[in-house]
Amino acid sequence: GQNKETSTQLMDTDLKKKKKKDILLAQHYLHMPICHSHYIECPPMGLETLKIDDFQLHASTTKRYGLGAHRGRLNIQAGLYEDDLYDGAWCAGRDDPLQWFEVDARRLTKFTGVITQGRSSLWSSDWVTSYKVMVSNDSHTWITLKNGSADLIFSANREKEIPVRNIFPTPVVARYIRVNPRSWFNIGNICMRVEILGCPMPDPNNYYHRRNEVITTDDLDFRHHSYKEMRQLMKVVNEMCPNITRIYNIGKSQSGLKLYAIELSDNPGEHEVGEPEFRYAAGSHGNEVLGRELLLLLMQFMCLEYLSGNQRIRHLVEETRIHLLPSVNPDGYEKAFEVGSELSGWSLGRWSNDGIDIHHNFPDLNSILWEAEAKKWIPRKMFNHHVPIPEWYQSKNASVAVETRALIAWMEKIPFVLGGNLQGGELVVTFPYDKTRSQGVTREQTPTPDDHVFRWLAFSYASTHRLMTDANRRVCHTEDFAKEDGTVNGASWHTAAGSMNDFSYLHTNCFELSMYVGCDKFPHESELPEEWENNRESLLVFMEQVHRGIKGVVRDLQGRGIANAKVSVEGISHDVRTAADGDYWRLLNPGEYRVTARAEGYSLSSKKCEVGYEMGATRCDFTISRTNLSRIKEIMEKFNKQPIRLPVRQLQARRSRERRMGT
């Protein structure tokens, strides 16, 4: 016990010495002149990305818990119904010039600037219009940034959403930093969302830094790419791996930018019978930039790993036809890219050039299917799958983005089996349906007939992500999705008609999910290596799920593949269709299923197909024969639907028999 007490005393003495050393070192840095020619602006410390945890944020006073210092993060969003837990800023308990918002960097840091926003709220208008900045090494003695001999006052926000950045005339080194509001909107309150720009000073003994550090070993191009740079990078990858890649475009944006995709396959440009088609798309909201960069990183990674002989990647490329579409909305991206990662706010560049939300711009086929089900039209008047697009949607006057039309043509042309669209601003995987079945209800569990499969697919991504299922992680904004294993039924989160996910499921064979890959829609370039590490395994595991379930070919008696044949699974009221060569894929969880193949003019065929737990789809082929009725119809069509004329001798013999019978 004595040894333990002595050990504790020694540790306390060491900590005091270290703190004193840190203070002396910081005081040295504070008074050390910095050459402006070497002044490099530091990246965000991580209030928005949650690298800075709640315990590092403090404030003078707080209006209520939901408006506490932990909510004072750049771009944090309030819930629709603002409450005591999840409001949209730090708001001071009193409106006077003595209030402050403080960040403890937990180590000596070179601070170079501050970014501020007002309060995220549908009902209130609160923002700070000017502030001072103070720094400290011990949280007791504070130094105010000066402009000569006077305190430096920074101009802040003029409204609540657009971020405003202020760069310090000279960087300052300290551990603590405070923002001290001096004026605010005259009919509002002191409320702020903040990001601090700062570079940690070298300190190999710092525990907090080591704990949070994530290092990647992948030698990839970790930066944000303009449209031209993206196109150039795709070309570089294509030249590195010409035998397994092909660049193509699916159409153009409203401003005329081509929507480029890259294909990875051992036979680029060719659909191989029995080989499933997979897609990732990103950037339908142009300001949700992380997904775009993740697909560009995935493209580089797969090319390099294939060349180095990585068996997992080789198997994926040789057994799957993979399509990556990094930028669905390049027009929106260019707007966000122009102002940069910290200043684009929550919505700049989200919509297409003509103001359309591309991800929710698809026809609402849910309502059409559910109405048909209510009228008992299925399957007599309408099928439970491949729901047709209504005529009004296809008219030129319909409010449909050119990017949406290009996506639909792409989805109809290629027999995709599984797809994921990468979104931003949250950490969760959503699956269909995205629209609530009950009218007027904004949140309600609305499962598809394939709910169990969708839940597995969502979990396969979320469970292999570094953060999504971490029960200890802080919520991004208002929802604690980690409680639900990082997945959620789209309609139970918030209802949305005409989503890409619902359309894909109801109009094509493809099961589509949305991956919200990070709290920060547009992370700083310095965050990309860590975000890649967070998502890399998930991106690969989800692709591999395309080989789960059953697959096969539906043929006629001559061995020819039958296109557009229906493949039904007993107990699941959602069928799939065969592709042009008669091949099909049906995603299913492990189990035994009774499967039926049928086609117009053919007799149906049923068999039991078993899906195992090991990766690889079970082969389940069908041979079906023509019905007698279809043969008669074919003969009738051959003779232009005219009565079949018998040869003259047969006609004479028949007349002779008729005469004899008459006598």
Q: What is the pLDDT of residues 128-163, one digit of tens each?
A: 999 999 999 999 999 999 998 999 999 999 999 999
Q: What is the CATH number of the domain that holds 265?
A: 3.40.630.10
Q: Are both 178 and 327 inside the same structural domain?
A: no
Task: Please list, in sequence order, all residues whose beta carbon lies within 8 angstroms of the beta carbon of residue 461, skipping any fewer than 6 positions away.
Answer: 420, 429, 468, 513, 515, 538, 541, 542
Q: What is the CATH number of the domain that holds 586?
A: 2.60.40.1120
Task: Name which of 256-260, 458-462, 479-483, 585-589 the model is least confident about.
Answer: 479-483
Higher-confidence residue: 346 or 111? 111
Given a cut of 50, is residue 287 above it in pLDDT? yes
Q: Are both 195 and 244 inside the same structural domain?
A: no
Q: Mean of the pLDDT values across residues 64-69?
A: 94
For residue 129, the model assigns a pLDDT of 98
Q: Is 383 part of a structural domain of the chain?
A: yes
pLDDT in tens, 228-273: 999 999 999 999 999 999 999 999 999 999 999 999 999 999 999 9
Higher-confidence residue: 469 or 14? 469
Distance between CA atoms of residues 60 and 77, nearest Å: 22
For residue 28, the model assigns a pLDDT of 42
For residue 85, the model assigns a pLDDT of 81
Q: Mean of the pLDDT values across residues 65-78?
A: 95
Q: Are both 91 and 177 inside the same structural domain?
A: yes
Q: What is the CATH number of the domain that holds 92?
A: 2.60.120.260
For residue 37, the model assigns a pLDDT of 38
For residue 425, the model assigns a pLDDT of 95
Higher-confidence residue: 650 or 326? 326
Q: Are both 382 and 280 inside the same structural domain?
A: yes
Q: Are 445 and 484 in contact (CB under 8 A)?
A: no
For residue 30, the model assigns a pLDDT of 43
Q: Give the residue from 200, 215, 237 where a domain finishes.
A: 200
Given a cut of 90, is residue 638 above it in pLDDT? no
Q: Are both 338 and 266 inside the same structural domain?
A: yes
Query: For 202, what's the count of Cα atoms within 13 Å in the CB-facing half-sphere?
Result: 0
Q: Are 252 and 329 in contact (CB under 8 A)?
A: no
Mean pLDDT of the chain: 90
Q: Are 94 and 61 in contact (CB under 8 A)?
A: yes
Given a cut of 90, is residue 84 above it in pLDDT? no
Q: Is 31 part of a structural domain of the chain?
A: no
Residue 447 dihedral angles phi and psi, to the nearest 5°: -80, 155
Output the six-digit token pair for 348. Answer: 């700049």
Q: Are both 280 and 387 inside the same structural domain?
A: yes
Q: Is 557 part of a structural domain of the chain?
A: yes
SS3 596: strand
Given a cut of 60, is residue 33 above it in pLDDT? no
> What is the residue range of 572's domain?
550-639
For 56, 212, 220, 317, the CA distances from 46, given in Å and listed in that order, are 11, 11, 23, 36
For residue 408, the model assigns a pLDDT of 98
Q: 């708001």: which residue's tokens?
A: 91
Q: Are 442 and 492 in contact (CB under 8 A)?
A: no
Residue 472 dihedral angles phi and psi, to the nearest 5°: -90, -5
Residue 282 dihedral angles phi and psi, to the nearest 5°: -145, 160
Distance between CA atoms of residues 656 and 662, nearest Å: 10
Q: How confident is the model at residue 217 (pLDDT cuts 50, 70, 90)?
A: confident
Q: Mean of the pLDDT values across residues 636-640?
A: 71
Give the amino acid at 524.
Answer: H
Q: Are both 416 and 387 inside the same structural domain?
A: yes
Q: Mean of the pLDDT values across residues 319-341?
A: 96
pLDDT in tens, 10-24: 444 444 444 444 444
For residue 262, the model assigns a pLDDT of 98
**Percentage of residues in the chain having pLDDT higher than 70:** 88
Given a cut of 70, is residue 212 above it in pLDDT? no
Give the amino acid at 358.
Answer: I
For 389, 431, 432, the CA distances from 446, given in Å and listed in that order, are 22, 10, 8
Sign of CA dihedral 463, 293, 414, 382: positive
Q: 């929710």: which residue's tokens?
A: 360
**Percentage of residues in the chain having pLDDT higher than 90:** 79
SS3 623: strand
Q: Is 236 part of a structural domain of the chain?
A: yes
Q: Are both 613 and 466 inside the same structural domain?
A: no
SS3 549: coil
Q: Is 210 part of a structural domain of the chain?
A: no
For residue 635, the model assigns a pLDDT of 72
User: What's the 3-state SS for 108-166?
Assistant: EEEEEEEEEECCCCCCCCCCEEEEEEEEECCCCCCEECEECCEECCEECCCCCCCCEEE
Given a cut of 70, is residue 95 above it in pLDDT? yes
Q: Are both 534 and 569 inside the same structural domain?
A: no
Q: Are 48 and 520 in contact (CB under 8 A)?
A: yes
Q: Mean of the pLDDT values across residues 275-296?
A: 97
Q: Mean of the pLDDT values across residues 279-284?
A: 97
Q: Is 440 part of a structural domain of the chain?
A: no
Given a cut of 60, is residue 513 above it in pLDDT? yes
For residue 26, the model assigns a pLDDT of 43
Higher-confidence residue: 440 or 9? 440
Q: 């395309």: which residue's tokens?
A: 546
Given a cut of 80, is residue 7 above it in pLDDT? no
Q: Are both 421 and 273 inside the same structural domain?
A: yes
Output the six-digit token pair for 499. Answer: 């989503």
For residue 418, the model assigns a pLDDT of 98
Q: Is 158 part of a structural domain of the chain?
A: yes
Q: How confident is the model at residue 214 (pLDDT cuts 50, 70, 90)?
A: confident
Q: Are both 300 and 377 inside the same structural domain?
A: yes
Q: 């992500």: which residue's tokens?
A: 465
Q: Are 335 and 286 in contact (CB under 8 A)?
A: yes
- The total domain count for the chain is 3
Give one DSSP letter per residue of 627-653, joined into a string.
-HHHHHHHHHHHTTTPPPPPPHHHHHH
For residue 126, the model assigns a pLDDT of 96
Burial class (CB in 10 A: 0-12, 13-18, 19+), 477: middle
pLDDT in tens, 360-374: 999 999 999 999 999
Given a cut of 90, is residue 221 above it in pLDDT? yes
Given a cut of 90, is residue 170 above it in pLDDT? yes
Q: 């704990």: which residue's tokens?
A: 211
Q: Are both 561 and 605 inside the same structural domain?
A: yes
Q: Is 214 part of a structural domain of the chain?
A: no
